[in-house]
Amino acid sequence: TVAAAQPSPSPTASAREILPTPASATRPLPATPTPASRAEAPKRGGWLVGYSSSIGRTLDPNQETSIFPMQFLTSSFQRMVMVDPERLPKERVIIGQISDRWEVDATAQKWTFYLRGGDRFIDGAPLTSGDVKATLERMRDAPGGIISPYKQMASAISNVETQGASTVIISTNRPAVWMLAFLAQPTASIVPAHIVSNDQKALEKKPIGSGPFKFGVREEDVKIEFVRNDNYRDKNLPYLDGHRWLVIREAATQFAALRTGRVNFSGFGTRGLSKSEADLLVQRMPGVSIERYAGTAVQFMWLNTRSGPFKDIRVRQAVSRAVNQQEIIDIAHEGAGFKGDFTGSAGLTWALPEATLKNIPAYRGPADADIAEAKRLMAQAGYAEGFRAEGLLIDLAGYEFRLAVLSKSLAKIGITVTTKVSRYPVEWVPALREGRFTLTEGPALGGTPYDPDALLTLWITGALDNYSGLSDVQVDDLYKKQGLTVDPVERKKVVDQLQMRLWELAPAIPTYNAMYYHATLPEVKGWTHPGMVNDTLWYEKVWIAQ
């Protein structure tokens, strides 16, 4: 969670707040080459060229959490606040972006932000408090049929008041200690009220922001480009002419594009690089920079609790006893990952204590007694002979290995997994939201702000990304209770209770937390180690040595 919020230290100073650095981001990672000195004078011109496994479902940032569109959308918009790229990866510090200071009352239910002024959208319209108000209400209300991934968190916002063009007062109906972490996310990018008020879906194909880059060209399944924004507030930035993203879905082709210099910047998230690819680049490409970083999104094996065999809690509990997190990490990810629970890796702020996790079969590794109990539960549920279940397979590199490991584990208790390939995210996400699956393995998209209000919203009755379709009164009540608890120690106790209930209900089984790898070729300068996956998708000061 964000450190105890305080008013900005003086009327003129930029307010800063310290975010917790998840343990997976601070654990010792393999050595990486020291990046080029920042003492070199930046040069204007040139292109940052990366690959992406997908352009994504929409180019509207308020409707997206997937890393694939966010890796190129984020630099086209601005937010109220941001994680300071200059202090990464050692510290995750929130600083102002379009706001230069803020104040909060003792209840964490009234937040006042003061905009710095001078920001304009790419069409020349000034960015004002009215745009902030429209964005936050849009995320809360999801008007016009749009999707709001953070609707559950935004529902805490009871009122957004503007005072002139540069002051925004946000009132909430419950303590919002997570407010800064929420506003720092790319999904909370400020959009132009004069555009979305006429058509809420106007940004889906043509994003209009106020960042250093503006939308240029999109060729479906080929590429997407963003070029320098001449209306950007800092006329000396950005240095790049633009950034271009080639749609490459196959892992081998992505890696070949890096090795041949077709791209100079790898993609993020699940692709990314594998550990062996990163090691090979270091060996064979002098000067390449490899960054290793963590993510907050937990990977799960999702079980459809709405219908079929997984509607029976006994079957889900049997599955929970058969899964082995360490096996998935070792076999599918070359040991690059972390075990954990519903809020991420052990040792993170909100995770269950290590001593508790060691009692959970998936975390410590199932023993013979766990498998025997799983078989007993299967028989009790009427599946002594087992059954066949279709596994929805995401069509990206790495997922086939994870599903294969999980299938082998489930076979031990009589469940035979067949596979059906699903295109990510355009097919997979709607299939899960609509309950058109039996089981699958994939990411939780709703948990980017590292706070229980985001991490655990996935399990609330009726929540958009409650893929398993879980509906449990106790879970709903505990979720509400933790959101009303300001004291962090007491809140942690409630969160622990909630997570233990989730392990009991087993609507999904946490499989692992990733260690990600990212590469920049030697000509790319000014890039900051990301720390966490969404922290620095900001290319304002990146430049190319030509």
Q: Tens digit of pLDDT for each residue in 13-70?
A: 334 454 444 433 333 333 344 444 456 899 999 999 999 988 888 999 999 988 889 9
- Give the per-residue pLDDT at 374: 98
How far are the Cα atoms of 89, 117, 127, 199, 335 from residue 539, in angstroms, in the given order? 16, 21, 21, 29, 31
Name the pLDDT band for 377 (thresholds 50, 70, 90): very high
Confirm if 81 and 94 have CB atoms less than 8 A apart: yes
The Cα–Cα gap between 42 and 261 comes to 21
Confirm if 20 and 180 have CB atoms less than 8 A apart: no
Confirm if 343 and 498 have CB atoms less than 8 A apart: no
Residue with tokens 């953070």: 150
Tokens at residue 286, please? 């002098």
- Give the per-residue pLDDT at 39: 66
DSSP 238-257: --SSEEEEEE---HHHHHHH
Q: What is the pLDDT of residues 210-223, one digit of tens each?
A: 999 999 999 989 99
Q: What DSSP designation does 508 have?
A: E
Beta strand pairing status for 99-104 and 110-115?
Answer: antiparallel
- Give the per-residue pLDDT at 449: 66
- Give the per-residue pLDDT at 12: 30
DSSP 457-494: GGGSTT-TT-TT----HHHHHHHHHHHH--SHHHHHHH
Confirm if 443 and 299 have CB atoms less than 8 A apart: yes
Burial 473-493 (b: 16+ CB within 10 A, else e): eebbebbebbbebbeeeebbe
Considering the chain, what is the average pLDDT of its residues? 89
Residue with tokens 């004291």: 487
Q: What is the pLDDT of residues 283-328, one digit of tens each?
A: 999 999 998 887 767 899 999 999 999 999 999 999 999 999 999 9
CA quadruple 476, 481, 482, 483: dihedral positive or negative? positive
Give yes or no for residue 197 having a pLDDT over 90.
Answer: yes
Confirm if 75 and 207 have CB atoms less than 8 A apart: no
Confirm if 182 and 153 have CB atoms less than 8 A apart: yes
- Give the per-residue pLDDT at 446: 53
Express as a percent the part of the chain with pLDDT over 70. 91
Q: What is the pLDDT of residues 415-451, one digit of tens each?
A: 999 999 999 888 999 999 999 999 999 988 655 567 8
Counting runs of H as helices and runs of E as strands, what totals does the chain give?
18, 22
Q: What is the pLDDT of residues 469-508, one digit of tens each?
A: 999 999 999 999 998 888 889 999 999 999 999 999 999 9
Higher pLDDT, 268 or 422: 422
Q: What DSSP designation does 270 have?
A: G
- Give the per-residue pLDDT at 23: 39
